[in-house]
Amino acid sequence: MDAEHLHYFEKAPISKAVAHFAIPMMLGTSMSVIYSILNAYFLGTLHNTAMLTALALTLPLFSILMALGNLLGIGGGTFISRLLGEQQYALIKHVSSFAFYSSLGLGLLVMAIGLPLIDPIVYSLGATPDAFEFTKDYVTIMLIGSPFVILFFTLENIVRAEGAAITSMIGMLLSVVINICFDVIAIFVLHLDVVGVASATVLANLIASAYYGYHIGCKSKFLTVSIHWFRATRQIVSQVFKIGVPVFIMSLFLGAMSLIVNHYLVAYGDSSVAAYGISSRLLQFPEFILMGLCEGVVPLIAFSFTANKLRMKHTIGFTIKTIVVLAVFFGIIVYFVSDHLIALFTQDAQLIEMGTYILQVTFLSLFISGITTLFTGIFQATAQGTAAFVMSIVQGVTLIPTLFVASRLSGFHGVIWALVIADAVAFLAGALMLYALRNKLQPDMNALAH
């Protein structure tokens, strides 16, 4: 199996190599979005807008937990892929053990800090009086389960980093399927509403993490969860955090952006927040498929950066063409059936109208957000820490003043269009930095000669 993984890294045709790494990730991320959509659908059947509002308001918290997992998972994973290209196998074991135990430690820290501050956290999420208790229930369960949520995102990334894309996908699908099953039982059998949704998420992440741990401990040649390999050397910490910290900041900004947008939308009523939550989940489906494509090829780009830069260049070119095709395909679908998609979650005419409008406007930036994700993945894979850091903050830094100005000029419409403007600025920043770094990333003349 390990020889097969290395074959896709080194020798397989570009299209097959990209498919090997990207398709499992695309399937996994799309299934996670389907789960998120079903969450909203199941709660929607209870005909309680406050529950849907609570689900939307808690997205920033989940983003923070995902950010902590990605801090170690993507930071450690891209380092592992580069080390594979350099054949430094002993160091890979140290990195994987460091990522595993650090994830658990971070989760325990989040739980210890968050639980005593539960009410201020719920207020900071922007919970309205009607949605306060539902939001508090969700946050409490997620904080208790934070070690397993963080560990899941870490392990998913480092397993994929060694080339085990199918195993990574199976873990993601396992999480989603278990989550949906627990959702149905918790909501319709046990009548636990929001508590059930949050508990299902934690249990699913725990079981999927155990699956990844089994793979790493029993089947992986390169990775380990053994405490004996744990090292927190300066090299490991600096290389993991060099890429991990920008990823963490980017995830925080995404969570903060959702929080800020929710705060602006609250002024237009709970319906606007619920409509944004529903449309955001629908938009996540094509966004996460493109994200799966871009994140899926990161290990291939990272390996090729240290082993074969010409192969890296061809991989990037093929990925861009694929993004264009997918963006056009999804764009056509959305503009024909967007109102019907929103109507799957609610019969409220105002929610359908607002959700359709939000979905159609934000869909305009699907292509540029896809390419922006690829830019970020390239910077992560090639250890361009400064560029990765700039990408992590540019969208959030742009969105905040844009929201302020646009909301004053155009109200509700300005809030929604501000999201598209922020995406466009991030795309331009990434394109400029990639152009500036072209000499570092281009193949050498000897490679080109072959």
Q: How much is the pLDDT for 211?
A: 95
Yes or no: say if 385 and 242 are a contact pair by the CB < 8 Å rule.
Answer: yes
Q: How much is the pLDDT for 223?
A: 87
Q: How much is the pLDDT for 48?
A: 66
Residue 383 pLDDT grade (very low, low, confident, very high; cuts 50, 70, 90): confident
Q: How much is the pLDDT for 208?
A: 93
Q: What is the pLDDT of residues 165-186, one digit of tens each?
A: 788 889 988 888 888 888 888 8
pLDDT value at 110 more than 80: yes
pLDDT value at 210 more than 90: yes
Average pLDDT over residues 306-319: 86
- C-alpha to C-alpha distances, 324 to 80, 319, 367, nearest whole angstrom: 29, 9, 7
Q: How much is the pLDDT for 213?
A: 92
pLDDT value at 109 more than 90: yes
Average pLDDT over residues 401-414: 86
In SS3 terms, 334-384 reads as: HHHHHHHHHHCCCCCHHHHHHHHHHHHHHHHHHHHHHHHHHHHHHHHHCCC
Rounded Cα gap, residues 281 and 274, in angstroms? 11
Across the chain, mean pLDDT equals 82
Closest C-alpha among 25, 66, 30 to residue 163: 25
Q: What is the pLDDT of residues 125-143, one digit of tens each?
A: 776 777 777 888 888 888 9
Closest C-alpha among 153, 169, 255, 247 to residue 205: 153
How many residues in total does the chain contain?
Answer: 450
Q: How much is the pLDDT for 449?
A: 40
pLDDT value at 234 more than 90: no
Which of 149-153, 198-202, 393-397 is most confident? 149-153
pLDDT value at 284 more than 80: no
Residue 446 pLDDT grade (very low, low, confident, very high; cuts 50, 70, 90): very low
Average pLDDT over residues 319-340: 86
| pTM listed for this prediction | 0.73
Residue 107 pLDDT grade (very low, low, confident, very high; cuts 50, 70, 90): very high
- pLDDT over 70 percentage in the chain: 92
More confident: 396 or 66: 66
Closest C-alpha among 190, 205, 51 to residue 132: 51
What is the sign, positive or negative, of the torsion defined by CA atoms of 337, 343, 349, 351? negative
Q: What is the pLDDT of residues 44-62, one digit of tens each?
A: 666 666 777 777 777 778 7
Rounded Cα gap, residues 157 and 9, in angstroms? 16
pLDDT value at 124 more than 60: yes
pLDDT value at 97 more than 50: yes
Q: How much is the pLDDT for 347?
A: 75
Average pLDDT over residues 230-250: 83
B/e letters for 167-177, b = 16+ CB within 10 Å, e = fewer, are: bbbbbbbbbbe
Q: How much is the pLDDT for 24?
A: 80
Residue 111 pLDDT grade (very low, low, confident, very high; cuts 50, 70, 90): very high
287's tokens: 């966004």
More confident: 349 or 445: 349
